[in-house]
């Protein structure tokens, strides 16, 4: 597919990724990871024997802060490691996991990366952090690849040491395309009042313009507001709204809109809809749509994740229905499928294996894609997976809307 070359909005939009991270994991608090014995999830089988030296990886997440708390991502990583090791490891080698909390601090994030270098890890895998711009330079200097990064920072979307498996910010253009297909005559782009707000609108507008639809109108939400009635009133004047705020702000707008009798249809940033959003929003969020690279959490493909990770239903970020939790699980499964037959499990050996992979097998979680085909937009070269599924909140439940994948690149191709 040839993508239309007018990609200035896309390139600029690499700066929106921090806001997208907040939208997908927006809560603080003291979530505690449960131990395996108390949760009933499997532990590593001591009778499994391994050959050769262990392969060590690191997963970084952010927790115990006022704004972000994604400690349960580490539960997902640990569960994936136990499953891999109980099945014989990676090519007979035991997989060892080091975890690190960056505490939402770029300096501590860089320290995590330096720890990875000091301990000779083969790769970073999955995780959740908004500090990729502090992590990637350290990894580059040490020659360590980051497999399945959250895709929140600009560096993760451009560094040759980054190997994302999700579509990242391309999903915003996809939401604009979805709104146009649904017949949205007027569209609001609702975002926090941050410098990146206009750039998010640019992405949405690229898709709307390419579908011969009118551009969106930007509605800025004050970052400290707790009264969303004014925002809801303004949003209610539009047929549809593409919302890029964290979940609590979206729920506030939707609830206030429902009280006003608003009929506006919502499209929420990829990663921003979870089971908890559907449950807490009730009728106010009925019909809300979003996109994801991964199948519905009710799909049997997630059964092993549920078994090995345990019950995360009380997690404030939606647990395993959340994008970055799913990305970490799929990241470990894909890492296994790509490197298990390698003869070189050093960081450089794994990078060479990934660079040569033209058919990325995600263990059935996504259609195959290639790490040899970079995206033709400056700053977004490392977006490789363009295929997304549509999700909708229906009857109070977040569910997959059909089985057809949409190529996000079509949102950037003129309809004329």
Domain positions in the chain are 8-168+298-387, 170-291+389-412
Both tokens of 16, joined, read 């929106």
With 80 as the cut, is the pLDDT of residue 315 above it? Answer: no
CA distance 133 to 158: 10
Stretch 317-322: mean pLDDT: 75
Cβ–Cβ < 8 Å for 182, 159: no
Q: Of 84-88, 155-159, 245-249, which range is least confident?
A: 245-249
The mean pLDDT of the chain is 89
Cβ–Cβ < 8 Å for 200, 189: yes
Q: Is pLDDT larger for residue 97 or for residue 248?
A: 97
Q: What count of residues does the chain have? A: 416
- Smallest Cα–Cα separation from 326: which of 357, 293, 351? 293
Angle between helix axes 72-86 and 323-339 (nearest 10 degrees) is 30
Both tokens of 248, joined, read 């609590």
Q: In the prediction, which pLDDT does 414 show? A: 64
pLDDT > 90 in the chain, percent: 69
CA distance 175 to 165: 19
Phi first, then psi: what are they for 196, rounded to 5°?
Answer: -80, -10
Q: Which of 33-42, 73-82, 263-272 has the highest mean pLDDT?
A: 73-82
Q: Which CATH architecture has domain 170-291+389-412?
A: 3-Layer(aba) Sandwich (3.40)
Span 28-37, pLDDT tens digits: 544 444 454 4
Report residue 16's pLDDT band, with 50, 70 and 90 as the boundaries. Answer: low
Span 196-240, pLDDT tens digits: 667 778 889 999 998 999 999 999 999 888 899 999 999 999 999
CA distance 28 to 235: 27
Both tokens of 380, joined, read 């977004």
Q: In the prediction, which pLDDT does 287 show? A: 98
Report residue 246's pLDDT band, with 50, 70 and 90 as the boundaries. Answer: confident
pTM: 0.90
CA distances from 104 to 71, 111, 308 (A): 12, 12, 27
Give the domain 8-168+298-387 fold: Rossmann fold (3.40.50)
Q: In the prediction, which pLDDT does 151 show? A: 87
Q: In the prediction, which pLDDT does 415 show? A: 52
Q: Of 1-5, 47-51, 171-175, 304-308, which range is least confident?
A: 1-5
């Amino acid at each position: 597919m040839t993508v239309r070359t007018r990609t200035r909005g896309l390139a600029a939009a690499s700066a929106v990724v921090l806001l997208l991270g907040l939208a997908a994991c927006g809560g603080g608090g003291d979530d505690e990871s449960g131990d395996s014995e108390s949760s009933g999830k499997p532990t590593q089988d001591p009778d499994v024997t391994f050959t050769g030296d262990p392969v060590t990886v690191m997963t970084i997440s952010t927790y115990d802060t006022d704004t972000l708390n994604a400690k349960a991502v580490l539960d997902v990583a640990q569960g994936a490691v136990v499953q891999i090791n109980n099945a014989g490891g990676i090519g007979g080698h035991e997989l060892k996991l080091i975890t690190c909390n960056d505490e939402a601090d770029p300096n501590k994030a860089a320290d995590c990366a330096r720890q990875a270098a000091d301990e000779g890890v083969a790769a970073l895998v999955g995780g959740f952090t908004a500090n990729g711009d502090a992590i990637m330079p350290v990894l580059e200097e040490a020659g360590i690849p980051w497999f399945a990064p959250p895709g929140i920072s600009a560096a993760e979307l451009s560094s040759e040491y980054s190997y994302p498996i999700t579509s990242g910010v391309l999903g915003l253009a996809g939401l604009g395309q979805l709104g146009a297909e649904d017949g949205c005559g007027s569209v609001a782009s609702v975002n926090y009042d941050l410098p990146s707000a206009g750039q998010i609108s640019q992405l949405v507008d690229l898709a709307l313009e390419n579908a011969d639809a009118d551009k969106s109108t930007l509605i800025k939400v004050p970052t400290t507001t707790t009264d969303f009635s004014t925002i809801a009133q303004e949003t209610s004047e539009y047929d549809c709204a593409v919302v890029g705020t964290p979940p609590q702000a979206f729920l506030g707008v939707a609830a206030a809109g429902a009280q006003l009798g608003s009929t506006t249809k919502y499209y929420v940033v990829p990663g921003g809809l979870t089971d908890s959003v559907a449950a807490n929003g009730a009728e106010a969020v009925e019909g809300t749509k979003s996109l994801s690279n991964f199948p519905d959490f009710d799909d049997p493909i997630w059964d092993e994740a549920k078994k090995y990770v345990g019950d995360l239903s009380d997690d404030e970020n939606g647990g395993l229905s959340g994008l970055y939790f799913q990305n970490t699980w799929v990241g470990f499964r894909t890492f296994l499928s790509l490197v298990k037959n390698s003869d070189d499990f050093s960081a450089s050996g794994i990078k060479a294996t990934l660079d040569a992979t033209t058919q990325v097998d995600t263990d059935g979680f996504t259609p195959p894609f290639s790490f040899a085909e970079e995206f033709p937009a400056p700053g977004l070269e490392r977006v490789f997976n363009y295929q997304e599924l549509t999700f909708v909140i229906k009857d109070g439940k977040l569910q997959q809307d059909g089985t057809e994948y949409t190529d996000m690149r079509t949102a950037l191709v003129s309809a004329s």
